[in-house]
Structure 1
Amino acid sequence: MSIHSHIFTLFLLLLALLLSASIPITGHEFSIKEATVHDFRMAFQQNKLTSRKLVRFYLGEIHKLNPILRGVIEVNPDALLQADKADKEKKAKSLRSLEGLHGIPILLKDNIATKDKMNTTAGSFALLKSVVPRDAGVVRKLRKAGAIILGKASLSEWTGLRFVFPYGWCARTGQGRNPYVLSATPCGSSSGSAISVAANLAAVSLGTETMGSILCPSHFNSVVGIKPTVGLTSRAGVVPISPRQDTVGPICRTVSDAVEVLDVIVGFDKRDKATRTASKYIPRGGYKQFLNANGLKGKRLGIVRNPPYMFENVSVQPQVFEHHFHTLRQGGAVLVDHLKIANIDVFFGSTGVEALEAELKISLNAYLKELVASPVRTLADVIAFNNKFSHLEKVKEYGQDLFLQAQATKGINKKTLLKLARFSRNGFEKLMKKHKLDAMVAPTADIIHVLAIGGFPGIDVPAGYDGKGVPFGICFGGLKGSEPKLIEIAYSFEQATKIRKPPSFKP
């Protein structure tokens, strides 16, 4: 090991000790760290906290921790002004001040457009100083609910479709770090959203998912991620990959917080036609009613044992999941074990990637064309930018192979899409219906492809930590529109286990 490597290792060790010893900041005896949306709401009502104090706390934590974690790309220069506005509305006893996300700061993944002083770049210098035409659909809903847009979270650049690895790297911030074990992967592409809420740089955040981009970072950062049914939340104003698979969802520290955010962002948006169809799944009265501690009772949960490595991750003992299965049974769930998803090799193969590359080229070109101002207008322009500014975009180190493959596509192969839909229908869907399952339960990494290709929802909940202290999660996935059942299951499991703990910042 070189002298530089030794110095860097010592630096990380000292920093980890400093971060783990940090003292929670309080406001009028109210501890902000690890507090939930409900806690904030009660503190507001009892005059123990203001939105300004809450925003100032998070800005301080970002200033202190972000230089090493790199979970935030930029903060909103108007965040304190928004907080002052929220505090004035609370004093005026605005109706919305008593519910929802009013006065609560939220971080947005940097592929979600905001029509303000912040950039929307998908982590790339190619979109720096570009001008979006309007707020993304989900951002409009957040602002209407009184949420404070705190800043933009980092991500795997271009949501992971420029190159394969590393997760959590983008040109604008560099490599994002897992706050539990700094050398471990934070996964991606919503890495910064998960890093930030895990490390208390914010309580709530938004991520996006095409194939595992919410569920995987949640898994590795010991937080809760909800991947909604495709179309349940608007994708308008989000830097796209695939209209079949893209979805926007919350990443938070608790199931209840994630559901609070979900309730705000779901619903129809005229700029995303998929929301018209999916809106039929939204229950009257919203999703908070399904935060039921006894939600496991009577639920039929399927356990898949193919491919053979499911529940046999080398860093996690299979006995850990067997213990969780026992917890599910104790909660009243019926477990249907040793199931096999037909055609699962397709989900883990190259067919789905080929479809995504073709969709990326078409969707991204359309998004870039609509920008009010932009240095790039097509995928070809982005590729040329990366080559011209290779020192900024580290093209020599990481390349842009997926972009080049996408650019080489010549339209969407409808036969490929029909093939994927058929395999999804005859695989996961058929299995769920045959066994009358409410949800499938699996290690997160083993089910994300299946849920992605079918546009199905999933919820990741913290499930433990391996021998090195790296977190892992458990995922509950279901058919389209099954969010109410998944929330009951996930919340009940969370309340029965309460596994999550604050990060330790180990080197």
Structure 2
Amino acid sequence: MKIWKKVLIVMLAIILIGALGVGGFIYYKLKAIMPDTQIEAQVQKQYIEEVKTSSKKTLDFSPFEKYMGKISDERYKELEKLLLDSDVAQIQEGFENKVYSVEEVTCFYLKRIQKYDNKLNTIIELNPDSIEIARALDKELDKGNINGKLFGIPVLLKDNIGTKDKMHNTAGAKALENSKSDKDAFIVSKIRKSNGIILGKANLSEWANFMSFDSSNGYSALGGQTHNPYGKFDVGGSSSGSAASVAANLTPISVGSETAGSMIYPSSQNSVVGIKPSLGLLSRDRIIPIAEAQDTAGTIGKSVKDATILFNELVGYDINDVETEKAKEYENIDYTKFLEKDGLKGMKIGLVVDEGVVGRYRNEDKEILDKVVQDLKNLGAEVKEVELGDEAFNINYMNVLLHGYKNDVNQYLKNIGSNDIKTIEDVVKFNKEDLENRAAYGQGLIEMAQEKNFTDEEIKKEIENNRKVSGEAIDKVLKDNDIEVLLTLSNYISGVYAPAGYPAITVPAGYRESGEPLGITLVASKFEEEKLIKAAYSYEQGTKKRKEPDMIVE
């Protein structure tokens, strides 16, 4: 077989990891299904053959009813006009100018959730204390105290991020329906310190898409099937609820997580901005893992500015996550300073054109990308075609994920203490009691992880090799071509930047003729988020490609 054909096959597998989770990767690698057919299969699952089970939770609005009742239909429409076109900073200006209260803003988003989420399924659980938190902030507002960059701003968390409150932390799994974290995740404590309001928990591809060989993006037993607010398009995974909820204006900002494409792909599919940080900038403590070798939390907003504001608040060293030792050097950086409208002037960008990428383009990709390149040039950037090389696309990190899932999930369950489910072996047994409702797409990946036995030394060597190969491929092409960032579409090179632990950002680039959203993705060397923020913000402000969904969901 010719080398380019080998590369193409491997790249197919890599792309599918990011798009569908590793379960989809295995299934579709064997089937060798082409991109548009693969996407059609996902749409079929998500809309035509949508799975509905008795496990799905119903959102509880009873704690908020008396407060939500205060907002008349007329006032709701006023708030809609005031808030939907506002970014985080502008919402806070409204607080300062007494245009609305924190309570009103929180109630507004709860009312939108009540109105639309029964069709979208972006949220698994609401925080019953959210209004009380808002009312406490209003008291501070009355005193003239607006402390924190997230003051009064509702934030949704992917339901694998632990909170020490009345909410659960489930990864969408029926087995963890009653599971609670023993403490706030480190990044949650930072949101609270910044006076953000944890609005609730967002739906996700169950176990962050590490569950079955033939999964549906955005499906979990507890959350049901998340839908794309732009229409019957693949919602993406695994941070599907985090992305779709922001797109539908059910929350201003949200937090997701990524192992390989799980932030970038759903953000691209739902026309929002997603920041996947360098491994080590954001703590993973009390976040249900796949494999800590690649896992990171990330941020989502309708704009680069909003996603950056949230990211800026979450960066920091956590003694409970050794990977964040490096964050000590970056936690005092104000990343919002890199929101420069002319940030692309003189910037050198490399368009990745390896056969493994170009050969995976879907219909219309080339035409959209040609327009992107022209836009970048019009905004002052230099764009040249580059190749990462065959070796970058020959990385196989499946064993790392299998070993990580088995060990890291077991460690998480041990850390949180009291819980009926102690190990993933318990998860497997629990699901087998009612597979139809608890594991509708099976649990082949969980079972494989349970059965596989690798030594820590074997996996350590594999992690180090993957990081070396992928990281050096990115750094070499940047250096040899005298460029600052790489450019591609959606999650087409998530299989390269993810094992390297390098950062990526996706920004809306337009829509296919069908109306399906598509984003460009920029990748930089490790800890060079400032370059991505500069380039992404400049492109966003110079093109204004994003448009609101019409919210017609059948």
Common fold: TM-score over 0.5:
yes
Distance 1:256 1:271, change over 3 A: same
Report the equivalent of 2:123. 72
1:241 is displaced (CA, Å) by: 1.4
Give runs of aligned pairs for residues 247-266 of structure 1, distance below 5 A: 247-266=296-315
Aligned residues: 480
Q: 2:444 aligns with which of 397, 401, 407?
A: 401
In structure 2, distance between residues paired with 1:283 and 1:493: 26
Find 1:363's aligned residue among 405, 408, 412.
408
- Per the TM alignment, residue 30 of structure 1 is displaced from its structure 2 partner at its CA by 5.3
Equivalent position of 1:392 in the other structure: 437
Decide which of 360, 363, 367 is 1:319's aligned counterpart: 367
- After superposition, residues 41-190 of structure 1 pair within 5 angstroms as 41-96=92-147, 99-164=148-213, 165-181=215-231, 183-190=232-239
For residue 367 of structure 1, give the secondary structure of its aligned residue in structure 2.
helix
Cα–Cα, structure 1 residues 314 and 424, in superposed 2: closer, same or farther, change >3 Å? Answer: closer
**Distance between the aligned counterparts of 2:81 and 2:501, measured in 1?**
41
Displacement of 1:66 in angstroms is 0.9
Distance of aligned partners of 1:448 and 1:249 in 2 relative to their CA distance in 1, 3 Å threshold: same
More off after superposition, 414-423 vs 64-73: 414-423
Cα distance in 2 between the residues matched to 1:288 and 1:419: 34
Question: 1:282, CA displacement in angstroms?
Answer: 4.2
Supply the AA of the counterpart residue of 2:487: V
Confirm or deny: 8 A CA contact 2:281 2:316 kept in the other structure. yes
Matched, 1:443 2:489: yes
Deviation string for 1:310-336 (max 9, x for gaps)? 386323241221111111112221212
TM-score by length of 1: 0.91
Q: Deviations over 1:159-210 (max 9, x none)?
A: 11112421100000211000101x2211111000001000011010000111
* 1:46-79 Cα distance to aligned partner (Å, 9 max, x none): 1101111111111111111111100000111111
TM value normalised by structure 2? 0.83
**Which piece of structure 1 moves more, 420-429 or 204-213?**
420-429
Aligned to 1:340: 388
Instruction: State which drifts further: 189-198 or 268-277.
Output: 268-277
Residues 1:298 and 2:340 aligned together: no
C-alpha separation between the residues in 2 aligned to 1:58 and 1:220?
22
Distance 1:24 1:219, change over 3 A: farther
CA 1:275/1:383 → structure 2, altered by over 3 Å: closer, same or farther? same
CA distance in 1, matches of 2:465, 2:80: 58
Q: Which amino acid aligns with 2:278?
A: T
Cα distance, 1:24 vs. partner? 9.6
Do the aligned residues in 2 keep the contact of 1:132 with 1:373 (CA within 8 Å)? Answer: no
Q: Shift in Å at residue 92 of structure 1?
A: 1.3
Unaligned runs of 5+ in 1: 10-21
In the aligned structure 1, how far is the partner of 2:492 from the partner of 2:299? 21
Taking a change above 3 Å as real, the CA distance of residues 136 and 124 of structure 1, as seen in their structure-2 partners, is same
The question of whether the paired residues in 2 share the 8 Å contact of 1:123 and 1:157 is answered with yes
CA distance in 2, matches of 1:86, 1:315: 49
Aligned partner (choices 313, 316, 319) of residue 267 of structure 1: 316
- 3-state SS of 1:126 partner: helix
Quote the residue 2:23 is aligned against. none
Q: 1:203 to 1:311 in 2, by over 3 A?
A: farther
Match for residue 466 of structure 1? 512
1:71 partner amino acid: T
Aligned residue identity for 2:155: I
Q: 1:86 to 1:95 in 2, by over 3 A?
A: closer
**Percent identity among equivalent residues?**
37
| Offset of residue 276 of structure 1 | 1.2
- 8 A contact 1:102–1:146 mirrored in 2: yes
The code of the aligned residue for 1:217 comes to P
1:85-109 CA distances to partner (integer Å, 9 max, x unpaired)?
111111112251xx50011110000
RMSD: 2.0
CA change 1:432–1:25 in 2 (3 A) is same
Once the two structures are superposed, residues 225-254 of structure 1 have per-residue CA deviations (whole angstroms, 9 ceiling, x without a partner) of 000111101110100112221111111100
SS of 2:95 mapped into structure 1: helix
Mean Cα displacement is larger for which, 215-224 or 86-95?
Answer: 86-95
Contact 1:310–1:442 under 8 Å retained in 2: no
Map of 2:337 onto structure 1? 289
Distance in 1 (CA, whole Å) between partners of 2:537 and 2:133 is 32
1:346 and 1:28, CA in 2 relative to 1: closer, same or farther beyond 3 A? closer
Distance across 2 between alignment mates of 1:320 and 1:258: 24
* Unaligned residue ranges in structure 2 (runs of 5+): 1-43, 49-72
Whole-Å separation in 2 of the counterparts to 1:352 and 1:29: 45
Deviates more, 1:28-37 or 1:433-442: 28-37
CA distance in 2, matches of 1:415, 1:30: 55
Q: Does 1:380 align with 2:425?
A: yes
Question: Could you tell me which residue of structure 2 aligns to residue 12 of structure 1?
Answer: none
Q: What's the secondary structure of 1:31's corresponding residue?
A: helix
Q: Secondary structure at the match of 1:167?
A: coil
| 1:74–1:118 Cα contact (<8 Å) kept | yes
Conserved in 2, the CA contact under 8 Å of 1:307 and 1:344? no
| Contact 2:212 2:446 (8 Å CA) reproduced | yes
Counterpart check, 1:239 vs 2:288: yes
C-alpha spacing 1:45/1:389, structure 2 compared with 1 (3 Å): same
